[in-house]
Amino acid sequence: VLSSYSFYWFQGAAWLGLNVFLFVYYFLLFDRDKKFYYTRVLLGSALAWARASAKCLNFNSMLILLPVCRNLLSFLRGTCSCCRRTMRKQLDHNLTFHKLVAYAIALFTAVHIIAHLCNFEWYNDSQQAADGSLSSILSDLHQDEESNKWLNPIHSNSTVSTPAYVTFTTIPGLTGVIITVALILMVTSSMEFIRRSYFEVFWYTHHLFIIYFAGLVIHGIAGLVRGQTAESLNKHNPEHCAQDPTHWGGNNKHSHCEEPEFGSIPAEVSPSSVVVHPSKVLELQMHKKGFSMEVGQYIFINSPSVSRLEWHPFTLTSAPEEDFFSVHIRAVGDWTENLIDTFQQQKPKTPRIEVDGPFGTASEDVFQYEVAMLVGAGIGVTPFASVLKSIWYKFQHADQRLKTKKIYFYWLCRDTGAFAWFNDLLASLEQEMEESGKASFLNYRLFLTGWDNSIAGQAAFNFDKDTDVVTGLKQKTSFGRPRWSNEFSAVATAHPRSVVGVFLCGPQALAKSLQKCCHQYSSLDPRKVKFYFNKENF
Amino acid sequence: MGRIEWAMWANEQALASGLILVTGGIVAVAAQFKGWPFAAYSIAAGVFVCLLEYPRGKRKKGSTMERCGQKYFTAVVKVFGPVTRNYYVRAILHAALAVPAGFLLSTILGMACLGIASAIYLLAAIRGEEWNPIEQKPQERPQVGGGTIKQPPTMPPPRPPVETRKKQPAEVAGQENPVPVAVEAE
């Protein structure tokens, strides 16, 4: 008994230690970093209080589901029937931890709100002030331009612009109020008295946690709190330049202080390379310090020049081994069309892009199988760009983590128009493999499901040619849907003793048929071929 | 769901709202935000709400847990009779108190929470709930046997003298079974 209690005591102490560490670390970061020098001129240390408590809120919000999810899962699985007593003790301990984390969330919420109340008020004061002070000069910077370089989010000094107005007209403000109200309702209905006497009130109200989490994710996205951009810091050192704000920007022989420029904390990236592919596909290659990704992840992209508030998710198409990260954006709606137009216009300055992420579960399993069958249908081919590139890099560098010896890649789409870029990727991979003498590593088949007689006629006519007439690849294109039974039996015959991983990114119906084939063609003998269908969602 | 007394939850919510109003008000007054008179008001309103809501009402069924030290507050709240007993009055009162707090960002949260409490009180009032004070019951001597024993005995029952009261030897633990018991194999 003593040992189990000391374990829980240790867990509590570790949690407390982490909280303290997070708070102090981020407090010092925002209170000392030169990037936020001017933000601090406007806000004082309320900035640091707000951000440090925000990090602790993120941490604790992540944790709070953990103690109750496991129990719920066990309960659903029905495993607790055999060890009721230990289960109940476990449940009690987990609930205690859940309540502890909830109290921490309530405390940090209070700190965070109070700090932001001060922030909004002081932003407003700076905006209204016309006394030529540093604060008012900073607030006026870049307010008229279309660019996103301002510091003070309160833009006009009309009387309408009170802190309350800003709160309810910005995403972080509005979501903040909503999730706080949800939190308070959850707390008051979980008071012990209410819980014991009127359990349904507690139970139904507690489901507001869904609103809490949805709002919390959105809350951090818009990035109203800003710091000076890195490139601006190179041209304008705040510690030096703050003394003489009236002479910024001009050619001054004493101090070379350009006007400072600001950006929000979810990173701003300037695309290092922009390629427009046929069929209106835009490829953006970007760099961001400290960005690390895994295969199959996605990022949110925002372009203030197209729309200030919209964030759209895109799968990453670059491999982790490359020194940049890229996405391919197809024109499917007005936001994407506008974005592509903006880049095609080739203004002297490339439009600014903001990136949040990467998110999503990484699909490391792909590298664990000796033989991999990758099936990408339509737009589902995008994550495989990342996977294929990564596998090829690992293979070339003889990465120990890569167990794959052979890949079968099946690409199904209606027409290759929109995926011409993927076509090029396959072509370049094909070439590289030939050059390294490993042409047999990747075996890919393209299936065009939207064929008509003229295409079929062309294909028949050009049958003897070396490269395919549609794609220009060495592999010939097939028309129609693949016959999975043939494919699976071919793979099973070629690799009679391997474990084959089957990965799909595509429609549910295809998942069903692939799973059926996996069962059908897996041998009962454990030494022989086995197919494993992976339900990973990219 | 039919046996829920909404007033109990409304009471918790209103108490929390009072605290939030006070906190928001203190922040705005201390930092002298624009419009801080509204904050001063909300401190006063928050304190009033807390005092009113602190004594918990009595539940219709079952025993009610009192809040620590609430009997002094109960005495005061009881004095106002129907005004504090009726939940319609409380609902309207809270709604009215909440409105001025909406003019300042620091106290808007308090306003929202108090508004929700007011709505829950309205629901309670519609369902006919009332605030009844928790009375202190006089201390009674616990009745043995449910009041059927009129003259409980005052002397202990007779016991055999000390010598005849043997202690069980340590090896023979437990009882002597009147019927032979066969130990079943596992």
Q: Which of A188, A193, A200 sits opposite B1 (nearest CB)?
A: A200
DSSP one-letter string for A458-491: HHHHTTTSSS-TTT--SSPEEES---HHHHHHHH
pLDDT in tens, A100-113: 999 999 999 999 99
Helix (H/G/I), strand (E/B), else coil: A242: coil
Cβ-Cβ contacts under 8 Å, B62 against chain A:
197
pLDDT in tens, B91-150: 999 999 999 988 888 899 999 999 999 999 999 999 888 888 877 766 565 655 556 667
Q: Which of A163, A181, A198 sits opposite B105 (nearest CB)?
A: A163
Compute the distance between CA of residue A147 and CA of residue A351 in angstroms, rounded to an integer.
9
Taking a C-beta distance cutoff of 8 angstroms, is the pair A35, A228 a contact? yes
Q: What is the DSSP letter of A362?
A: -
DSSP one-letter string for A20-81: HHHHHHHHHHHHH-GGGHHHHHHHTTHHHHHHHHHHHHHHHHHHHHHHHHHHHHHHHHTGGG
pLDDT at A144 over 90: no
Question: Between A520 and B65, where is the model more confident?
Answer: A520
DSSP one-letter string for A162-200: -HHHHHHHSHHHHHHHHHHHHHHHHHHHTSHHHHHH-HH
- Any CB–CB contact under 8 A between B36 and chain A? no
Q: What is the DSSP letter of B135?
A: P
Q: Which of B8, B31, B116 sits opposite A185 (nearest CB)?
A: B116
- Any CB–CB contact under 8 A between B62 and chain A? yes
Model pTM above 0.90: no
pLDDT at B170 over 70: no
pLDDT for B184: 66
- In chain A, the residue whose alpha carbon lies closest to the alpha carbon of B13 is A188
Query: Which of B6, B9, B26, B56 best probes binding to A when mutated, by most A CB atoms within 10 angstroms?
Result: B9
Query: Which of A117, A123, A180, A205 best probes binding to B when mutated, by most B CB atoms within 10 angstroms?
Result: A117
Cβ-Cβ contacts under 8 Å, A180 against chain B:
109
Type of residue at A187: V
Cβ-Cβ contacts under 8 Å, B116 against chain A:
181, 185
pLDDT for A470: 61
- In chain B, the residue whose alpha carbon lies closest to the alpha carbon of A204 is B1
pLDDT for B185: 57
Other beta carbons less than 10 A from residue A148's beta carbon:
22
Q: Lowest-pLDDT range, A35-49, A67-81, A186-200? A: A67-81
DSSP one-letter string for A246-293: GGSSS--SS---PPP-EEESSPEE--SEEEEETTTEEEEEE--TT---
Shortest Cα distance from A200 to chain B (angstroms)? 7
Shortest Cα distance from A117 to chain B (angstroms)? 6
pLDDT in tens, B135-169: 776 656 565 555 666 777 788 888 887 776 666 55
Cα–Cα nearest to B39, from B89, B131, B108: B108
Scan for tokens 């009215």, then name that residue: B96
pLDDT for A418: 66
- Any CB–CB contact under 8 A between B134 and chain A? no
Q: What are phi and psi of A411, to 5 degrees?
A: -115, 120
Cβ-Cβ contacts under 8 Å, B8 against chain A:
193-194, 197-198
Compute the distance between CA of residue A76 and CA of residue A81 in angstroms, rounded to an integer.
11
> Number of CB pairs < 8 Å for A and B?
73
ipTM, two decimals, is 0.73
pLDDT in tens, A235-266: 777 777 777 777 666 555 555 667 777 776 55
pLDDT at A504 over 60: yes
The model's confidence at residue B13, banded by pLDDT at 50, 70 and 90, is very high
Cα–Cα nearest to A383, from A367, A362, A404: A362
Query: Which of B29, B105, B108, B123 best probes binding to A when mutated, by most A CB atoms within 10 angstroms?
Result: B105
Distance of CA B47 to the CA centre of its chain: 19
Compute the distance between CA of residue B184 and CA of residue B186 in angstroms, rounded to an integer.
6
pLDDT for A105: 94
Percent of chain A clearing pLDDT 70 (strictly above):
79
Cβ-Cβ contacts under 8 Å, A201 against chain B:
4, 6, 9
Query: How do beta strands A442-448 and A477-479 pair?
Result: parallel
pLDDT at A363 over 70: no
pLDDT for A212: 92
If you average pLDDT over residues A202-225, what whole number do you get? 84
pLDDT in tens, A425-457: 888 888 887 887 777 788 888 888 876 677 667
Type of residue at A256: H
pLDDT for A106: 94
pLDDT in tens, A399-410: 767 788 888 888
